A and B are shown apart, each in its own frame.
Chain A
Amino acid sequence: MADSQKSPGIRKRVRFALLGGGLRVLARSINKARGKDLWLDRALRQFEGVWRFESGNRKLYRHLILEGGKFRVSRECGRPADFTFTIYSSSATGLRARPDRVLEVLIANKIGQSGDLHYLYQFGFIMSLYRRTTLFKGKSIPIEGRGQPPRD
C-alpha cells in the first residue's frame, strides 16, 4: 500500500529535506544547551551513537551522529547506524513535538524501527535532558543544581 519501491516524489523529498534541516537545528540547539545543564553536558561527553532517519523505501535518509562530545547531522555515515527510524507517514512528525515519547510513536506503528533499543532509550533520555533546558520543558526533575526532586 504505502510502501512504494518507486523513486520518492518531490513532496517526499522536500519533506525529508525539511527533516534534515530540522535535525541540524536540533543538533545545534542541543550542543548549545549543554551549557545550561551539567547532565546534558555529561551525556554528550559520555555517550555516542548514530541514529538514522530514513524514508519508507529507504532511498532518503539522514544520520544524526553523536561523537566527540557533540551532535552533527550528515547524509552519509562511515559506520552502520545504531538505531534506525523508518518514517512511513507524515503523522510520525509527532516525534518532533515530544521526542522523549518515541515509544508511543513506535507502538502506533507510525514509524518503523530497527537496531539496538539501548540507543533508542538513550536518545530519548538525551532529548528529555535537552527539553528541560527549553521553554517547552514541562514538569521534570529540576536541572542539576537548581532544586531537589521529590522524595518518598
Chain B
Amino acid sequence: MAETARTDSQESRQVDEIFALQLSDFPRALRLKQEMAGARQTVAHERSKLLTDYFEKNGFDLEHPLLRQADSLKYVLENTNPVIFPDELIVGSVTEHRHGAVMFPEFQAAVIWPEMLSLPFRKHNPVNVSKEAVEDFSFRIFPYFKDKNIHQWAKVHYGYPEGLKVMEKFVFYLIAHANGVSHLIPNYRVAPELGFNRIMEDARKRRDAITGTDKAAQLKREFYEAVIIVSEGVLAFAKNYSRKAGELADAEQDPERKQELAELSRMLAKVPAEPAETFREAMESMWITHAAVLQENSDLAVSFGRMDQFMLPYFLRDLEKGIIDFKKAMDIALCLYIKTNDHTPLVPSAGESLFSGSATNQSITLSGLTPDGKDGTNALSYLFLRALDLLRQREPNVDCRFHDHSPELWRQKCLEVIKSTGAAPALYNDEAVIPAMTAKGQSLADARDYGVIGCVETSVQGRTYPMTGSILLNLATTLELAIYDGVFPLSGRQIGPKTGWLKEFTNFDQLWRAFVAQLNHLVKGSVEAETLYERAHAELHPIPLLSAVLDGPMEKGKDATAGGAKYNSSGVWCVGLADVTDSLAAIKKLVFDEKRLTAAEMQAALEADFKGHETVHAMCLHRGPKYGNDEPEADELAVRIVQAVDQTYGLHRNFRKGVYHVGYWTMTMHTGYGRLISALPNGRKKGAALASGATPVSGAARKGPSAALSSTAKLPAACLANCIANNHKIPASILNEPGKLQVLEQLVKGFFRKRGMQIQFVIADQSLLIEAMNNPELAKDLLVRVSGYTAYFGDLNKDMQQEIINRTEDRI
C-alpha cells in the first residue's frame, strides 16, 4: 500500500484484518440489505410532480435555459420531502421510495405510459405504482412535456433527418441521449474537499469578473448564476435532511439511534456546504451530492470513480486520531453500498428483452496507477473490495485496476472475491487502458486517473463529459446490409446504400468494401442523430449542477452540455464483433479462397435460414475460421473490423467538438438484437443470440481459454478507448479444486501481459444455472456478469439466461 508506506507484513496484517470481517459483524447492514431486497421497485412521482408544478406556475422560459433549469432544479431540491429509513447511516434518498424508479418526463419516461396500469402485475420485474401517480403522469405530466422532451425537441427543431428515422427502427443503432445525461464520473471529490459554499463563492467571483456585454459574456454570466442557484438548492436539500434527522432524533427512544440521528443532523448541517473533516462526513457529502445530481440527470451509470483514492485522506486522518477503525469504516461503506440500490431504471416490457436485469450501474473503481505513475493500492481498496464480497449485491458495480507492478496480494484478493461472488469485480489492465486513452488525446497523468463507468467503460474521472453509452451500433445488421444490397432482411426495407448482393461478389474485397460502405452509412446516421440530441440537450436541458462538479465548466464558464468539460468525448458500444468476424472469415475462406461453395449458394442458405442447406450450414459451423482460437485468419479480421469502426468514427466530431471512443460491450443487447438478426455466415441461425462483448462466439473457441484470451488481446487498444467486455465462464466446482485459483491467476496475468484490456467472469456450474432458470428463489440472489454489468440471474429474461448457460466454459 504505497500511500501509507507500510511494509509488506503490515499491509498483509491490515488486509487480513479487513478480510476477517464478516457480514454478521454488521447487523445494521444485514437489516438494511434485507429491507432493500424486500422492497419492490416503485414508480417515483415526487420529482416529476414538483418539476411540473414549477413550470406550470413559472412558465417554461425558452430564452434562458440555464436559469430555467437551475431555478426548477432548486425548486425540486428545496421541496423534496426528506426520507430517512430506520438504521440508515448514509442518508439522502434519490426518490421518495426505498427502492424507486426515477422518472424523467423531459426525457423518455413516457415510454412506460402504455403499460403503467399493468406495471404492478407484469410477470417479469413488476413495479408498483400508485393510482395517484398514474393519474398525474397521464393527465398532467406527460401531456405537459409532450413538446418539451429531448427526442421531440430534436425532431421538431432540427428537422427530422434520416439519421433519426433510422434510429427509430431500433435495430441499427440507438442513441442514449434521448434518455438523459448519464454515463460519466462527476468530480465528486469537490463536495467533501471544497463544499458548495466554496463552489458558490467561486461562481460569484467569476460572474462578477465578467465585464463584457455581448452574448458570450451574457451566457457565461448566466452559467455562473445558474451554478449559484443550484448550489443553493443542494444546500437546501441537505438542510432539509438535517432538520428531518433532528426531528427523528427528538422522537427516538433508543439512545444509540437517537445519538446516530443527532450526529446525522449535525453532519448534514455542515456537509456538503462546508468541507468534510472525517471519513463519514466525506462519504455522506459525496452521497448527498450524488442524490442531488440525480434529480437533474437520469442515473444510467453516473459513477463514483476512484473512491479508494479520494476518500483515503479522510480515512487516514481518522485512523491517526483514533476515531475510526476498519470495522467502523466498513459499517459506513456497507451503508453506502446498500444505499446505491435505492433506485433503478424503469424498463418497459419490450425493453426487458434488451436491457433486462440492469441496475443503474454506478461504478466504483479501485486501485491502479496514480496520476504520477505510482501504485495506488491502499487500505481502502481492500476495504471497498471486501464490502462487495460481504454484500454480494449487483450495485454498486465494483471494478478493479491492475498494472504491471500491482501487488500480488491485490491480485489474489480480487480473484478470491470473484470466486466468492461468482461475478464481481471486473478486472482492468492499466497497461492497455491508459494507452487507449492517450491515443485519443488525453494527457498521460489524466489517463492514469481513469475510472470505470457503468458496465465497463473507462474515462478520466471528473474531467470528462464522455456519455460512454451514447451510441449503440449493431455490427451484425451492418453485415446484413452488406450481404443484402443495403436491405434489412427482417423488414425488407432499403436502409443502406445499394452496395450489391453477396451472390454478385466475385472476391472478398468487394464484400469488405460493401461492409465498410454500410458501416460508413450507419456511422454517419448515428453521428447525425447524436449531434441533434446533444444540441437539444444544450438548448433544452443544460446541467448546471453536474457542470459544477466537473473540471472545465467552471473555468470556461460553459455548461457541460455545450462543451464545458475538459474532455468531450462520446462513447460508442458495438454489438456483434465476434459473429461478424467469423462470418466474414467464413465467406472469405469457404467462398472466395477455397471455393467450397459459391457466393450464390451461401446467399441462398442464409435466406433459407440454412433450411435445406444443411451441408452449407455444417461447413459454416465447422470449416470456417473462428475468432477465439489464436489463429490469424479470424483474429486478423477482428483487428481489421475494430480498426475500421474506429477509423470511421474518427472521421467525425461530436456536437461538443469531442472525439468518439469505440468499445465492444453489449449489456444484454446481444440477445435482444440477436432475435432480430437473420442467419449469418458463421452458421448462427436466425434469432439466436449474438456473442457478448468482445468475447468469441459461444462454442467457437475450441482451443481453450488461453487461446481465446490471446485472440482478444490482439485487438488494438488504441481502437478500444470505450473498453471491452471480455466475458468468461468458469464452473465453480473446477475453481474449488486445489490450485485452480492460482491457475486462474496465471491466466489473467498472461492476458494482461499480452496487453489484454479487460476480463470479467461468471463463476457457476452449468447445473446450478439450469436449476436457477426454473427456480426463482435460487435465481433471485444469484449474481452473474452479463456483458458489462452485474445482475441477479432471476432478473434476466430467458434469452439472456440461456445465453449465459450456453457460454463456453473455461475448464482451466
Which residues of A are in contact with B by a Cβ distance under 8 Å?
1-3, 39, 42-43, 46-47, 56, 88-89, 100-104, 106-110, 112-114, 116-118, 121-125, 127-129, 132, 138-141, 148-152
CA distance A88 to B488 in the complex (A): 12
CA distance A108 to B488 in the complex (A): 12
CA distance A2 to B494 in the complex (A): 10
Whether A103 contacts B488 in the complex (CB less than 8 A), given A152-B39, A152-B42, comes out as no
CA distance A130 to B7 in the complex (A): 72
B117 touching A128, Cβ below 8 Å: yes
CA distance A88 to B350 in the complex (A): 20
Of the listed stretches B12-20, B123-131, B534-542, B731-739, chain A binds: B123-131
Whether A121 contacts B350 in the complex (CB less than 8 A), given A3-B493, A128-B118, A148-B131, comes out as no
Whether A121 contacts B491 in the complex (CB less than 8 A), given A109-B170, A132-B117, comes out as no
B114 touching A152, Cβ below 8 Å: no
CA distance A124 to B168 in the complex (A): 17
A109 touching B113, Cβ below 8 Å: no
CA distance A114 to B40 in the complex (A): 35
Q: Which of B42, B113, B128, B165 contacts A121 (CB 8 A)?
A: B113
Whether A151 contacts B494 in the complex (CB less than 8 A), given A101-B350, A128-B117, A141-B120, comes out as no
A103 touching B111, Cβ below 8 Å: yes
CA distance A2 to B488 in the complex (A): 10
B135 touching A39, Cβ below 8 Å: yes
- Which residues of B1-59 have CB atoms within 8 Å of chain A's CB atoms? 39-40, 42
- Which residues of B473-529 have CB atoms within 8 Å of chain A's CB atoms? 484, 487-494
B676 interfacial contact with A, CB 8 Å: yes
Contacts of B168 in A (CB 8 A): 113-114
Contacts of B490 in A (CB 8 A): 108-109
Contacts of A101 in B (CB 8 A): 114-115, 349-350
CA distance A128 to B348 in the complex (A): 14
B121 interfacial contact with A, CB 8 Å: yes
Contacts of B152 in A (CB 8 A): 116-118
- Which residues of B132-154 have CB atoms within 8 Å of chain A's CB atoms? 134-135, 138-139, 142-143, 146-147, 149, 151-152
B770 vs chain A, min Cβ distance (A)? 27
Whether A140 contacts B350 in the complex (CB less than 8 A), given A42-B139, A114-B165, A149-B130, comes out as no
A49 vs chain B, min Cβ distance (A)? 10
Contacts of A117 in B (CB 8 A): 110-111, 151-152
Q: Across chains A and B, which 7 residue pairs bring their CB atoms closest together, nearest first?
A: A124-B114, A2-B492, A139-B121, A1-B492, A103-B350, A121-B113, A104-B350
B676 touching A124, Cβ below 8 Å: no
Closest-by-CB residue of B relative to A116 is B152
Q: Which of A46, A106, A125 contacts B113 (CB 8 A)?
A: A125
Contacts of A88 in B (CB 8 A): 491-493
Contacts of A139 in B (CB 8 A): 118, 121
Contacts of B117 in A (CB 8 A): 128-129, 132, 140-141
B676 touching A108, Cβ below 8 Å: yes
Whether A109 contacts B121 in the complex (CB less than 8 A), given A88-B493, A100-B114, comes out as no
A140 touching B113, Cβ below 8 Å: no
B613 interfacial contact with A, CB 8 Å: no
Q: Which of A46, A109, A121, A128 contacts B110 (CB 8 A)?
A: A121
Chosen A-B contacts, 18 in total, with CB atoms closer than 8 Å, are A2-B492, A2-B493, A3-B493, A3-B494, A46-B139, A88-B493, A104-B350, A107-B676, A116-B152, A116-B155, A121-B111, A125-B138, A139-B121, A140-B117, A141-B117, A149-B130, A152-B40, A152-B97
Contacts of A110 in B (CB 8 A): 491
CA distance A52 to B351 in the complex (A): 25
Closest-by-CB residue of A relative to B99 is A152
CA distance A37 to B488 in the complex (A): 43
B32 vs chain A, min Cβ distance (A)? 17
Binary flags per residue of B150-165, CB closer than 8 Å to A gives 1, else 0 = 0110010000100001
CA distance A47 to B139 in the complex (A): 9
A150 touching B120, Cβ below 8 Å: yes
B291 vs chain A, min Cβ distance (A)? 19
9 additional A-B pairs beyond A42-B139, A118-B149, beta carbons within 8 Å, are: A3-B493, A39-B138, A43-B139, A103-B348, A108-B675, A109-B493, A121-B114, A128-B115, A139-B121
Closest-by-CB residue of B relative to A143 is B117
B391 interfacial contact with A, CB 8 Å: no
A30 vs chain B, min Cβ distance (A)? 15
B116 touching A125, Cβ below 8 Å: yes
B171 interfacial contact with A, CB 8 Å: yes
Closest-by-CB residue of A relative to B96 is A152
A26 vs chain B, min Cβ distance (A)? 15
Contacts of B484 in A (CB 8 A): 1
A107 touching B170, Cβ below 8 Å: yes
Contacts of B149 in A (CB 8 A): 118
Binary flags per residue of B667-703, CB closer than 8 Å to A gives 1, else 0 = 0000000011000000000000000000000000000
Contacts of A150 in B (CB 8 A): 120, 128
Contacts of B351 in A (CB 8 A): 103
A103 touching B491, Cβ below 8 Å: no
Contacts of A47 in B (CB 8 A): 143
Contacts of A152 in B (CB 8 A): 39-40, 42, 97-98, 128
Contacts of B489 in A (CB 8 A): 1
B409 vs chain A, min Cβ distance (A)? 44
CA distance A113 to B491 in the complex (A): 12
Contacts of A112 in B (CB 8 A): 169, 491, 493
Contacts of A108 in B (CB 8 A): 490, 675-676
B350 touching A124, Cβ below 8 Å: no
Whether A124 contacts B131 in the complex (CB less than 8 A), given A114-B165, A116-B152, A118-B152, comes out as no
A128 touching B116, Cβ below 8 Å: yes
Contacts of A116 in B (CB 8 A): 146, 152, 155
A3 touching B115, Cβ below 8 Å: no
A141 touching B134, Cβ below 8 Å: yes
CA distance A71 to B493 in the complex (A): 31
CA distance A57 to B59 in the complex (A): 43
- Which residues of B563-619 have CB atoms within 8 Å of chain A's CB atoms? none
Which one of A112, A113, A152 has the highest number of Cβ atoms from chain B below 10 Å of its Cβ? A152
CA distance A108 to B676 in the complex (A): 6
Contacts of A122 in B (CB 8 A): 113, 142
Which one of A46, A108, A148 has the highest number of Cβ atoms from chain B below 10 Å of its Cβ? A108
Closest-by-CB residue of B relative to A149 is B131
CA distance A141 to B113 in the complex (A): 13
Q: Which of B121, B143, B171, B492 contacts A3 (CB 8 A)?
A: B492
Contacts of B130 in A (CB 8 A): 149, 151
A107 touching B493, Cβ below 8 Å: no
CA distance A106 to B354 in the complex (A): 13
Which one of B42, B170, B490, B491 has the highest number of Cβ atoms from chain A below 10 Å of its Cβ? B491
Closest-by-CB residue of A relative to B40 is A152
A127 vs chain B, min Cβ distance (A)? 7
Contacts of B170 in A (CB 8 A): 106-107, 109
Contacts of B118 in A (CB 8 A): 100, 128, 138-141
CA distance A88 to B118 in the complex (A): 29
Which one of B138, B151, B349 has the highest number of Cβ atoms from chain A below 10 Å of its Cβ? B138
Closest-by-CB residue of A relative to B672 is A107
CA distance A139 to B155 in the complex (A): 35
Which one of A1, A121, A132, A150 has the highest number of Cβ atoms from chain B below 10 Å of its Cβ? A121
B10 vs chain A, min Cβ distance (A)? 48
B675 vs chain A, min Cβ distance (A)? 8
B138 touching A100, Cβ below 8 Å: no
Closest-by-CB residue of B relative to A46 is B139
Whether A102 contacts B114 in the complex (CB less than 8 A), given A42-B139, A112-B493, comes out as yes
Closest-by-CB residue of B relative to A111 is B491
Contacts of B160 in A (CB 8 A): 114
- Which residues of B36-89 have CB atoms within 8 Å of chain A's CB atoms? 39-40, 42
